[in-house]
Every structure is written in structure tokens, then in C-alpha cells.
Amino acid sequence: DAGVTQSPTHLIKTRGQQVTLRCSPKSGHDTVSWYQQALGQGPQFIFQYYEEEERQRGNFPDRFSGHQFPNYSSELNVNALLLGDSALYLCASSWGFDEQYFGPGTRLTVT
Amino acid sequence: AQSVAQPEDQVNVAEGNPLTVKCTYSVSGNPYLFWYVQYPNRGLQFLLKYITGDNLVKGSYGFEAEFNKSQTSFHLKKPSALVSDSALYFCAVRDIGEYGNKLVFGAGTILRVKS
């Protein structure tokens, strides 16, 4: 049984560009959450998707947007990239409010 | 707002000795608490959770955690540390909103086990 998968593994972008990160949830899970983990910090909640709708959002600007597809996979989009967006982006999946299982993350570097 | 704190940036123990990684929480209502571990260049791995019931929770890889309501603590423990336990450990609390839920993490504690 595949766990949570994320792509790409690493990404380098330039300031002002846009990026799309992808996540496939663990089999049987219907909820996807995204977190940003800056270097030396704990993960910070970005938003959560369930039934293709954003259900809860953390303290992140509108430059961060997402989508959930009918197969429960999800995308995270970040527009107008800033240097401060450099971080490890983690996707987590769950069955409803059960414990969240995390993917390996996407390392985004903005230069 | 729900929050957790990990007062130690780093914990050093010798292999074979018991280890404790500390976590305190601040919540309104009943706490839903978790421990995750992160190895270099990896995502977070779920270790254990406390929802309700016994104050001693057993988890993966021989880890356990003790929930203490009076001290608002949820310390991670292991009777005998292994070098392979060296990693970054996060305590987290579930914050349930009107339509969803999120995990609120502490800053993390680096555990170093020396042989």
C-alpha cells in the first residue's frame, strides 16, 4: 500500500515565478492538508481540502491556493514567489479527522 | 488557540539509557496530542497519539508518552535509546475548527543518541 506521495522532490524557482506542487494521498484517505516547514521550524498549516473544497485555512496570503481532485489528490499553487517561500512543503492525508500521515515533502528553493 | 511547547532544542543521551523529550500543551477543551519524528530529508512519521483513556500511550519503535493533565504535559519516552533514534521530534496538538482540523506543531527537539 503506497503511502502519501509528493512531486517533485526538489524544485528551484526564481522570485516572481509561480509553482505547482502535487500530492497523492494514502489509499483510503479523503482529506488532504498542506504544511510549510521553514528551516529550523515546525510545520505551519496552510490549508485543508475535503470533498474538493477548502475546509480550513491557516495564516497564509492568497498567493497560496490549492485544489483537490475527485480522486482525492491535491495541488498546492504559489504565485509571485518570494525568497521567504523557500521551505519544505509537506502534504498530509487522513480519513476525516483521524491522524494525519505525511509525505516526504517537496523542497522549494526560491532564488 | 491550541498550542504546544517543546522547551528543549536538543536532548543528548547515551545509547542504552532512557530518554525523555518534553512537551507541554495549552488547549481549550480536551487535548488531542501527537508525536511525530522526522529524519533528515524525510517527511514526518507518526509515532503515537493521545485522544482519551490511559495516560500512558504506547506507540511505534518502542516509544511511549505520558499524558499528565495537572502538569499539562505530554512527554515522549523510551526505556532504552538506540543510535538510530537520533532525529528531530515534534509534538503537535489537533485544533478542530468549524469545518476542518489542523495540527499545531511545536518547534521541535533534536535527539542525539551517542554510542
Q: What is the pLDDT of residues A14-60, one digit of tens each?
A: 999 999 999 999 999 999 999 999 998 999 999 999 999 999 999 99
Burial class (CB in 10 A: 0-12, 13-18, 19+), A58: middle
Instruction: State the nearest Cα–Cα gap between B14 and chain A, in angstroms.
Output: 24
Given this model, what pLDDT does residue A1 score? 62
pLDDT tens profile A32-42: 999 999 998 99
Given this model, what pLDDT does residue B66 score? 96
Contact A105 B107 (CB under 8 A): no
Given this model, what pLDDT does residue B52 score? 84
pLDDT tens profile B15-31: 999 999 999 999 988 89
Average pLDDT of the residues of chain B: 94
Contact B43 A102 (CB under 8 A): yes
Contact B102 A58 (CB under 8 A): yes
Alpha-carbon distance values, B43 to A39, A84, A91, B29 (Å): 13, 20, 9, 29
Instruction: State the nearest Cα–Cα gap between A88 and chain B, in angstroms.
Output: 9
Interface test with A, best of B52, B88, B102, B104 (most A CBs within 10 A): B102
Nearest CA among B62, B65, B58, B55 for reference residue B23: B65
Cβ pair B110, B9 in contact under 8 A: yes
Contact A43 B44 (CB under 8 A): yes
